[in-house]
Structure 1
Amino acid sequence: MSPVSPCARVVMVVLLAALWSGCASVAPQRSELATRVGRSDLSVAVMRTRVRDLARRFSGLIEAMADDLALSSGSPQVAAKMLRFKANAVPAVQSALFQPDPVAALIDSWALLAQLEDSLPHAAEGASPELLAQAHASLVSLESEVEAEWRVVTGREDVTQTRARVHAWAAENPLTGPLVTRRSTTGLLSSLTDVSGGGLRSTAASLAEDTRDLAARVDLYATSLPRQARWQAELVATDALRAPTIESALAELGRTVDLLDRVGAVAANTPALIERERRAALDALHAERLGLQEFVTGERQAVLADVGRERQAVVDALHAERVATLQQLDGLARGWVDHAFDRLEPLVDRVLLWLTLLGVGALLGGLLLARALRRAR
């Protein structure tokens, strides 16, 4: 057996390093939490996809549950409380399910749902027990979906112990104010995964969101934020109506309405007074109508008389103008005729003179011609 040359050893080392780096690049990214809770065949990308789908569905289901409870109760107070409930619960669920580590997101959303189940009777105070039971069943259904995902992550079918720990933590940390002030579930997550709080923070910080995760977050926020803004505006309007000045004004308005109701009751009890007032109003209206009719008739007659006088005056003026115009034209025509005859008289005289002279000349010519003929004979 021949010894291996140094060049062959170098080539083998390079090949092994390339294979090792290739295997490392192909291996899916996993978080420390996912490694500790159970299954090793789920990558962070797959777990995130499943959890982000829950964020999209849970937001709509919680909103629908609150709207159904408010509509079915028929109470403005319950509707206002459900508006505040969904305005706090929807963004809290989205924030919980969009944590960088999907395992931490599952535990946080599970604990949040348990807290919402415990706080629902207080949040929907005034609703009937049947409606509260339906809303509680909706939240329990959401919790069962989280449990199903936890079974997939851990690979264990029995999650009774985990459920008990989550509900115990929720009972120890009830929701007493806005959901943004709720306690962190780091301690609960540490007890379930045997990881310290600092290790959880560093693990979550080391998981960077990829483009698909950011796109899912932006898509969810694009559909949810306008409705959340509308809810906040409605809450602001509701709080404004509860201001002392508005409440005092509404109280005064209520007293005014009561006074008007009493006045209406008194009027209803005195039909004779109402009949007299009605007849007096009708008589006054009839008198006003007659007076107005007479006034309009007088004005119409006066206008017609004025129009007749104006028409006659216009006709007289037109006749006078026509007569004056005809007289003026007659004078002008006579003047033109006289002027024409004056101009024609000398001309006629000249023509007659020339005709006379021509006649005399012709007569003399005839005489001379006759004399000449006589001499010629």
Structure 2
Amino acid sequence: MSPVLPSARVVTVVLLVLLCGGCASLAPQRSELTTRVGRSDLSVAVMRTRVRDLARRFSGLIEALADDLAARSGSPHVASAMLRFKANAVPAVQSALFQPDPVAALIDTWALLAQLEDSLPRTAVGASPELLAHAHDSLGALESELEAEWRGVTGREDATQTRDKVHAWAAANPLTGPLVTRVSTTELLASLTNVPGGGLRSTAASLVEDTRDLTARVDLYATSLPRQARWQAELVAVDALRAPTVQSALAELGRTVDLLDRVGAVAANSPAILERERRAALDSVHAERLGLQAYLTGERQGVLADVDRERQAVVDALHAERIATLQQLDGLARGWVDHAFDRLTPLVDRVFLWLALLAVLLGVGGLLGGVLLTRAWRRAH
């Protein structure tokens, strides 16, 4: 078989594809979703151009949002979270905006932004409320642009009901993992366009991207994919630094620095470059020592403060216990005294009664004795 035939077949297939694309571009393509939402006069090509134009801007704005939040937070944890955030959000937004049906792309991107707004506080843990509020406002501005496009598509100025449905769907379907696993917005799209769920895929599948859509997608990917590859490499590097093998390697590196320090002391008469390297290593070790010393000093002061607080708490507790014991003993003493007086009162009463009776008897005896002595004296005289 001649090698020219496969080449001729390839050329023929390419020409047929271009011819079909040209015919498709000449015929005014209609979208059932576009007709259902209220503006049947908008063609798919016009809506695609308006929606595709948002892909580049939204990608850049989300990247700038994540970089700004990471830089202003000053936290390595937040910076790592924002790196993972933009590495997932940017391709997800691009994929949503490049769906075949522009209405479906509009709603899907709107729902994705609402999900990102809800998940941002859980993603950027440790960021200040002011930074989170600024990032939320930035995502809200992107959502406002989509809302303006939706008003242009539907021809209605009030999009409150649609916005409420989108946010209710986002709240019911939060992002719990990578964005590639997010729930499909087919049900949401069906509720907004009154199209049965089973017909949405066939509606979107009937729309074929033309060469302009492919060119825009390739142009956007040519600009964005190198940055996404760099983000993925940075994520791999961050994850690798957290591995136990890397930690052990860093420990070995510390011991190597100590060894180089001793070698530098032996090679005191080496060239000036070795002396500079040795001094740089010593300065680094000295800085680390000062940092460690400051950390240990802070920890020691914290421990002493905790011990002092514990001691004061123990003293206060003992003082309170002593006061409570004294109060209890005072109550017991008062009870014992009252009980003793209660027991002694009848005894004293009896003693006084017997003494009174004895006095009466002595008085009566005295009187009788006096009378007897008087009578005896009288008889004697």
Return the alpha-carbon distance in structure 1 between the equivalents of residues 288 and 188 of structure 2.
61
Corresponding residue number in structure 2 for 1:329: none
Corresponding residue number in structure 2 for 1:161: 161
Instruction: Say whether 1:120 aligns with 2:148.
Output: no
Q: Deviations over 1:224-270 (max 9, x none)?
A: 000000000000111111112223555787899799728997xxxxx
Return the alpha-carbon distance in structure 2 between the equivalents of residues 153 and 259 of structure 1.
63
Q: Deviations over 1:155-186 (max 9, x none)?
A: 00111111111001100110011101101000
Q: Deviations over 1:306-363 (max 9, x none)?
A: xxxxxxxxxxxxxxxxxxxxxxxxxxxxxxxxxxxxxxxxxxxxxxxxxxxxxxxxxx
Return the alpha-carbon distance in structure 1 between the equivalents of residues 56 and 244 of structure 2.
40
Q: TM-score, normalised by structure 1?
A: 0.61
Structure 1: which amino acid aligns with 2:41? Answer: D
Q: TM-score, normalised by structure 2?
A: 0.60
Is contact 2:66-2:85 (8 Å) kept? Answer: yes
Structure 1 residues 110 and 262 mapped into 2: Cα distance closer, same or farther (>3 Å)? Answer: closer
Return the alpha-carbon distance in structure 2 between the equivalents of residues 260 and 208 of structure 1.
62
Return the alpha-carbon distance in structure 2 between the equivalents of residues 189 and 99 of structure 1.
13
Return the alpha-carbon distance in structure 1 between the equivalents of residues 221 and 117 of structure 2.
25
Corresponding residue number in structure 2 for 1:146: 146
Structure 1 residues 106 and 249 mapped into 2: Cα distance closer, same or farther (>3 Å)? Answer: same
Is contact 2:25-2:210 (8 Å) kept? Answer: no
Corresponding residue number in structure 2 for 1:310: none
Return the alpha-carbon distance in structure 2 between the equivalents of residues 253 and 131 of structure 1.
37
Structure 1 residues 30 and 176 mapped into 2: Cα distance closer, same or farther (>3 Å)? Answer: same
Is contact 2:96-2:108 (8 Å) kept? Answer: yes
Return the alpha-carbon distance in structure 2 between the equivalents of residues 225 and 131 of structure 1.
28
Instruction: Say whether 1:72 aligns with 2:100.
Output: no
- 1:44 positional shift: 0.2
Is contact 2:48-2:102 (8 Å) kept? Answer: yes
Corresponding residue number in structure 1 for 2:289: 261
Instruction: Say whether 1:181 aligns with 2:181.
Output: yes
- 1:28 positional shift: 2.2
Corresponding residue number in structure 1 for 2:335: none
Q: The residue matched to 2:127 in structure 1 has which SS?
A: coil
Return the alpha-carbon distance in structure 2 between the equivalents of residues 260 and 215 of structure 1.
54
Return the alpha-carbon distance in structure 1 between the equivalents of residues 120 and 288 of structure 2.
41
Corresponding residue number in structure 1 for 2:247: 247
Aligned-residue Cα RMSD (Å) equals: 2.5
Return the alpha-carbon distance in structure 2 between the equivalents of residues 190 and 258 of structure 1.
66
Corresponding residue number in structure 1 for 2:200: 200
Q: Whose Rg is larger?
A: 1
Q: Deviations over 1:2-48 (max 9, x none)?
A: xxxxxxxxxxxxxxxxxxxxxx9976211000010001211000000
Structure 2: which amino acid aligns with 1:241? Answer: L
- 1:77 positional shift: 1.0
Return the alpha-carbon distance in structure 1 between the equivalents of residues 83 and 154 of structure 2.
36
Q: The residue matched to 2:88 in structure 1 has which SS?
A: helix
> Where in structure 2 are there 5+ consecutive unaligned residues?
1-23, 259-284, 294-381
Return the alpha-carbon distance in structure 2 between the equivalents of residues 252 and 172 of structure 1.
50
Structure 2: which amino acid aligns with 1:76? Answer: P
Return the alpha-carbon distance in structure 1 between the equivalents of residues 159 and 71 of structure 2.
35
Structure 1 residues 182 and 41 mapped into 2: Cα distance closer, same or farther (>3 Å)? Answer: same
Return the alpha-carbon distance in structure 1 between the equivalents of residues 208 and 59 of structure 2.
24
Corresponding residue number in structure 1 for 2:337: none
> Where in structure 1 are there 5+ consecutive unaligned residues?
1-23, 266-377
Return the alpha-carbon distance in structure 1 between the equivalents of residues 208 and 195 of structure 2.
20
Structure 1 residues 254 and 129 mapped into 2: Cα distance closer, same or farther (>3 Å)? Answer: farther
Q: Which moved more, 1:98-107 or 1:123-132?
A: 123-132
Structure 1 residues 68 and 46 mapped into 2: Cα distance closer, same or farther (>3 Å)? Answer: same
The percent identity for this pair of structures is 83
Equivalent residue pairs, number: 242
Instruction: Say whether 1:231 aligns with 2:231.
Output: yes
Instruction: Report 1:334-345 matches (<5 A).
Output: none
Is contact 2:69-2:82 (8 Å) kept? Answer: yes
Structure 1 residues 48 and 76 mapped into 2: Cα distance closer, same or farther (>3 Å)? Answer: same
Corresponding residue number in structure 1 for 2:82: 82
Instruction: Say whether 1:210 aligns with 2:238.
Output: no
Return the alpha-carbon distance in structure 2 between the equivalents of residues 192 and 263 of structure 1.
60
Give 4+ residue runs of structure 1 displaced > 4 Å after superposition: 24-27, 248-260, 262-265
Corresponding residue number in structure 2 for 1:58: 58
Return the alpha-carbon distance in structure 2 between the equivalents of residues 253 and 109 of structure 1.
48
Structure 2: which amino acid aligns with 1:154? Answer: T
Corresponding residue number in structure 1 for 2:35: 35
Return the alpha-carbon distance in structure 1 between the equivalents of residues 88 and 164 of structure 2.
25
